[in-house]
């Protein structure tokens, strides 16, 4: 989650109300390198990253949470930004279009919808699919401050991908019992159409038994035959030995899926927790896993496709929300990111405009991804 976060990002909230020089007080000095595996070298970041920057298209826009479809020859990206004050609600969904997946423009030049008529104050991490003649959007609905669960998954439909009708209540819900795997949060949907049903992968967050780290983050799956009514969610993927809790990893976040014949590819980010860092909960790498059994269990790649410190614009910061698309012989993945909080002062001084916050892209040959998944 790039804006609200599964755990509040205190320094980011302060950033909207302080001068740039003071934002550095949120940091405690540069961190050392995190205990992340070597990245998979077959993946190539775009040299112009981030391809969508803070302040593009709209004053003080902070773009994140991409979801990309290809409609004919046009790339369509659904993404989010705060709309009144940077980093603060309401955070809403926008639509952008592109002829090449790199150069974008808003279409329309307004949010697609607000949170009115729902129990939420913000709409984040949109995931859009086309199913039986209409578009379905699943999103993280952010509850008002102090509410548990913090988030649940909302739903809207559209004939054209622009004008949306929201359901009044969440379609994938949490019990609010934090001892359960979905008790604190059900959020960050990644939807696909698979065998004439909608599969929604999502993150469930509850309290970890033993409390170290305190969060337990699992990737779940809920399945629907009509797009609105879902079966009971189940856990389909949890953190592997690559990212052990003993090294400060609570698990995974922001899953998105990609259908390749009978194979399902899953992209997600890796979360690290350090109570001495600011913020203490960070999304620090992007990873890939594959399923050949119908999307009910996944095998991870040997290493991440990208780590935060592999980019100058996300160093000491975060990477989040990977969204993949098969495009001819390539797989393209768009993702959100931002630099460390000490460096965000430069962004503030420029009026929230610049490359310290935005959306990047990374690619791999489809044949290479299939080979790595064997």
- CA separation (Å) from 122 to 153, 171, 346, 351? 12, 16, 27, 23
**Among 26-35, 48-57, 83-92, 199-208, the least confident range:** 26-35
pLDDT at position 374 is 65
pTM: 0.93
Domain count, the chain: 1
Residue 3 lies in a domain: no
Give the pairing type, strands 354-365 and 330-338: antiparallel
Q: How far is CA 314 from CA 15, 150, 258, 298, 311, in A?
A: 17, 26, 25, 28, 5
Quote the pLDDT of residue 7. 33
Residues 287, 241: Cα–Cα separation, whole Å: 13
CATH code of residue 266: 2.115.10.20
Contact 122, 113 (CB under 8 A): no
Phi, psi of 126 (to 5 degrees): -65, 140
**Residue 312 domain-assigned (yes or no):** yes
**For residue 332, is it within any domain?**
yes
Q: Tell me whether residue 263 is in a domain.
A: yes
| pLDDT, tens digit (0-9, with 9 covering 90-100), for 84-101 | 999 899 999 999 999 999
Range of the domain at 101: 10-372
Would you say residue 64 lies in a domain?
A: yes
> Is 11's pLDDT higher than 60?
no
Residue 225 lies in a domain: yes
Our CA dihedral for 38, 44, 45, 51, rounded to 10 degrees, sits at -160
- In this structure, is residue 4 part of a structural domain? no
Query: pLDDT grade, residue 32 (50/70/90)?
Result: confident
In a domain, 93, yes or no: yes
């Amino acid at each position: 989650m790039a804006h609200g976060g599964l755990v509040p990002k205190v320094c980011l909230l302060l950033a909207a109300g302080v001068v740039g020089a003071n934002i550095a007080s949120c940091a405690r000095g540069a961190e050392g390198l995190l205990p992340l595996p070597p990245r998979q070298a077959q993946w190539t970041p775009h040299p112009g990253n981030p391809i969508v920057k803070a302040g593009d298209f709209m004053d003080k826009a902070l773009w994140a949470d991409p979801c990309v479809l290809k409609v004919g020859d046009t790339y369509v990206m659904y993404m989010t930004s705060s709309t009144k004050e940077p980093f603060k609600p309401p955070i809403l969904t926008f639509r952008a279009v592109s002829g090449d997946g790199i150069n974008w423009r808003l279409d329309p030049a307004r949010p697609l919808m607000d949170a009115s008529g729902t129990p939420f104050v913000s709409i984040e991490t949109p995931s859009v699919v086309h199913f039986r003649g209409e578009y379905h959007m699943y999103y993280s609905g952010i509850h008002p401050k102090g509410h548990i669960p913090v988030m649940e998954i909302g739903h809207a439909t559209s004939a054209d991908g622009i004008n949306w009708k929201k359901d009044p209540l969440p379609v994938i819900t949490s019990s609010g019992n934090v001892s359960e795997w979905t008790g604190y949060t059900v959020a960050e949907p990644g939807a696909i159409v698979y065998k004439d049903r909608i599969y929604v992968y999502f993150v469930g967050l509850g309290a970890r038994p033993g409390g170290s780290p305190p969060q337990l983050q699992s990737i779940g799956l809920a399945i629907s035959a009509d797009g609105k009514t879902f079966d009971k969610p189940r856990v389909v993927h949890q953190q592997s030995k690559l990212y052990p809790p003993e090294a400060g990893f609570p698990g995974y976040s922001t899953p998105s899926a990609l259908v390749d014949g009978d194979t399902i590819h899953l992209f997600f980010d890796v979360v690290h927790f350090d109570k001495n860092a600011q913020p203490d909960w960070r999304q620090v790498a992007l990873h890939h896993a594959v399923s050949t059994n119908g999307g009910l269990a996944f095998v991870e790649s040997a290493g991440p496709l990208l780590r935060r410190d592999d980019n100058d614009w996300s160093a000491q910061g975060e990477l989040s929300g990977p969204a993949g698309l098969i495009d001819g012989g390539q797989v393209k993945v768009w993702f959100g990111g931002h630099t460390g909080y000490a460096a965000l002062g430069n962004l503030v001084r420029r009026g929230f405009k610049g490359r310290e916050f935005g959306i990047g892209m990374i690619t791999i040959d489809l044949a290479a991804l299939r080979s790595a998944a064997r």
